[in-house]
Every structure is written in C-alpha cells, then in structure tokens.
Amino acid sequence: MDTGLVLVRSRYLPRCDLIEESIQRDGPRTLVITLGLEGESGFYGHDGARLGFRGGYTTVSSFAHSTGERRYQAGTAVGQLRLLVEEATLRRYVGEARCRDLLPAARVRELGFGKTAPASAAHARALLRLASAAPADPLALQINALSLLAGQLRELRPPASTQPPAQPKAPGRLSQHDIQKLEQIRDLMQLQMAQPLTIDYLCASAGLSTFKLKQGFRLLFNTSPHQMLLEMRMRRAWTLLEAGCQVAQAGWQVGYLHPSNFSTAFTRFFGRAPKSVSGKGPGKR
C-alpha cells in the first residue's frame, strides 16, 4: 500500500500436511499483525520461537532475521489477513524508543494474542473489500490499515521500565507543537471527510494519543473531533444539495454510504430533510 506498509491475504487448503519454509535473513525488522479469518496454523522458529494463528483471533508479532517453518494441517482451510509494517514506517508513527521496544534485534517474538476486537474485524472486512475492488482506493486502504495498526498498538503497552516518568503539566495549556498537530488533524478532516475517518486513524496520522486529541479539541476548538467532523460534513452536504446534487450523491461525497443514514443525520443536524433544501442557505431556514 505504501513504502514499508504491506497487506497480505492468504488462504490455504492443503491436501496433505504442509510445511512451508520461512527465511528472513536480510531486510528490515518488521511488525506483523495477523488476523485469523479461518482455521489454525503455526510458525515454528529454528530458535525455538512459536507463534499460533487461529480464526477469530489476532496475533501481533515482530520478525528480524528469522528462519523457521509455517505448518498447516491436511484438509483444513486456513485464511489470514496480515499487515506488515517495516521498521522505518513504524518509527515514523511511534518514535524511536517505542519502535526499539517493539522490534527485537534478531529473532521472532510474539507481542500479543487474543480474540479479534470488533473494531479490528471491521477494518479487516473493509480492507478485504477494498483490496478486491477495481479500481483500487489507496487512500481508503491506508486509512483502514493505519486505524488497524493504531488500535493494536494501543493494546500493546510497553514494559513499565521503558515508560518515562510522567511530567506534571499545567492544566488547560497546549504547546505550540500540539496546536500545530491539532490544526493538522482539522485540515485532514476537511480534506478527507468522504473517507471513513476514525479516531485511531486521526491519532496515527498526527502522532497524538486519543486523550491528547480529545482534550486538545476541547481546549483549542471548544468541541469534540466527532462533532467537528459532523458539522464539516453537514455544511458541505448543504452546499452540494444547493448546487443540485441528489441526496445519495451528496451523502456519498461527505462519507455516508447509505442515503438513509445520511438523511437521518442531516435532518437531526438542520431540523429539516435534505430533499427540502432548494436554494436556501443554513441561515435562511
């Protein structure tokens, strides 16, 4: 999808027990998020490392200069969706210290294993749909991939010894750096309102935590990210409808796949149905 960001869909149905050799002697260290879609399989490293993959579960692991075997049982369908994030790309989103903690110098390491969260499953379904669409939508692919990455990283807390001591901060104060990041997110929302923007994606795009994002929006804009995005979408939709767009077209251009959902949101926001807009601005209701 981008430099250092790769999406892999795989499905196996071996007629006999299958052992697939896996060798990574060169190349960058890599974080791998594997969403099990069906069946079970395992990775057996030559250094003794073990990784399990199962339908309905997510395995997060890191690979660096590893050798081993992927094993599949005969007559069992195994489907997986893997997101591979190379070291340089991961560092761009989480910083040098966190990247160093997540990626080992040389081996395979399991970082997390558990039932796939509903949000991760939703992003996986979107990625599968988008990856098979023609023409492809690179922006939507990256939004869902980064949202999936952000959600998994939030669950992977670094060891306590690697966490710097909390520094006291003056309440109600934002640094100039934070203000720039928040304005960057506001501008991103304006440009990409037609996409399925999520809090995880917005945070990953600007390198802010969820708490910092929500608190910053309250302090700087006196609103929430959700409310600002809703208002942007509704104002834009009004302009499109005034210009002659059909309801479904206007809804699609501001991020609503289903006209009924758009009509409900528009009516709740303005107090009138989108079909009633005909040459009158919001201030002339």
At 114, give phi and psi (nearest 5°): -175, 175
How far apart are the C-alpha atoms of 220 and 11, rounded to whole Å?
48
Cβ-contact 214, 224 below 8 angstroms: yes
Superfamily of domain 5-117: Jelly Rolls (2.60.120.10)
pTM, two decimals, is: 0.62
C-alpha to C-alpha distances, 135 to 140, 169, 195, nearest whole angstrom: 12, 48, 16
pLDDT tens digits, 41-75: 888 887 777 888 889 999 998 888 778 888 998 88
Domain ranges of the chain: 5-117, 175-285
Cβ-contact 22, 67 below 8 angstroms: yes
Q: Work out the pLDDT band at 85, boundaries 50, 70, 90.
A: very high
At 119, give phi and psi (nearest 5°): -65, -40
Query: What does 48-71 look like in DSSP terms, one character per residue?
Result: S-EEEEETTEEEEEEESS-EEEEE
Q: How many CB atoms lie within 10 A of CB 6?
A: 16
Q: How many CB atoms lie within 10 A of CB 132?
A: 9
pLDDT tens digits, 213-265: 999 998 888 889 999 999 999 998 998 888 888 999 999 999 998 999 999 99
Strand partners, 158: none
Q: 78 or 102: which carries more pLDDT confidence?
A: 78
At 213, give phi and psi (nearest 5°): -65, -50
pLDDT tens digits, 12-46: 999 998 998 887 767 788 999 999 999 998 888 87
Does domain 175-285 fall under CATH 1.10.10.60? My reply is yes
